[in-house]
A and B are shown apart, each in its own frame.
Chain A
Amino acid sequence: DSGVTQTPKHLITATGQRVTLRCSPRSGDLSVYWYQQSLDQGLQFLIQYYNGEERAKGNILERFSAQQFPDLHSELNLSSLELGDSALYFCASSAGTRGGYTFGSGTRLTVV
């Protein structure tokens, strides 16, 4: 157990739907990062939060949004889902903005 908890582990949903992925960072870590891993795109950085504030934004679609709550857990919201959104979504956390990552076990999203 890495200490980063992601739920759910698997999610199957239909096109056009909306889902929420949840991440609880490792105890004491203030930064949360979201990554998307698909077969054709590899690991793509989506967004970073530090202590509740957005710090960096990567290749995140407008249909996607995220937030980090006061208890430091984070949620990634994916809406108007398309088949191409099927991927493994990772959350990672670190102690600060310059540390290494600890990854969660990922949420495997399948859009049908």
Chain B
Amino acid sequence: AQKITQTQPGMFVQEKEAVTLDCTYDTSDPSYGLFWYKQPSSGEMIFLIYQGSYDQQNATEGRYSLNFQKARKSANLVISASQLGDSAMYFCAMRSSRGTGNQFYFGTGTSLTVIP
């Protein structure tokens, strides 16, 4: 069964500090994709970063980096130099390609609050 687990319901970080949001996953698929999305209070889902299961290097996108540890089945998001605008819900997701379909499995999310 496909499953994404985010064990941190809420996190606080001081402005300009780095923060790590945890994500573990479970899949039997040899090929899969891992994603992080940000959902601010306005509700929209914003794509942040992607990691393919066969990618050798950890993905980076500006202040976002993904700490991918395949053997441990973890895909933690690291946000460096936190900003007040980073306060939002963060969702880890896994893409599973089964047959002709393409379904994303989402974790329950982590609420990040950046403190001035």
Contact = CB atoms under 8 A, between A and B. Distances in A.
Interface size band for A: 20 to 34
B64 interface: no
Interface of A: 2, 31, 33, 42-43, 45, 48, 50, 55-56, 58, 88, 90, 92, 94, 96-106, 108
Contacts of B103: 33, 45, 48, 56, 58
Interface residues of B, number: 25
The prevalent SS among residues of A at the interface is strand
Contact of A100 (B35, B43, B109): B35
Given A100-B47, A101-B35, A42 B106 contact: yes
Contacts of A96: 102
Contacts of B104: 33, 45, 101
Contacts, number: 65
Contacts of A103: 37, 44-47
Interface of B: 33, 35, 37, 42-47, 50, 91, 95, 97-109
A98 B50 CA distance: 13
Given A97-B101, A98-B97, 4 more contacts: A55-B100, A88-B43, A98-B102, A106-B45
Contacts of B101: 48, 55-56, 97
A102 B44 CA distance: 10
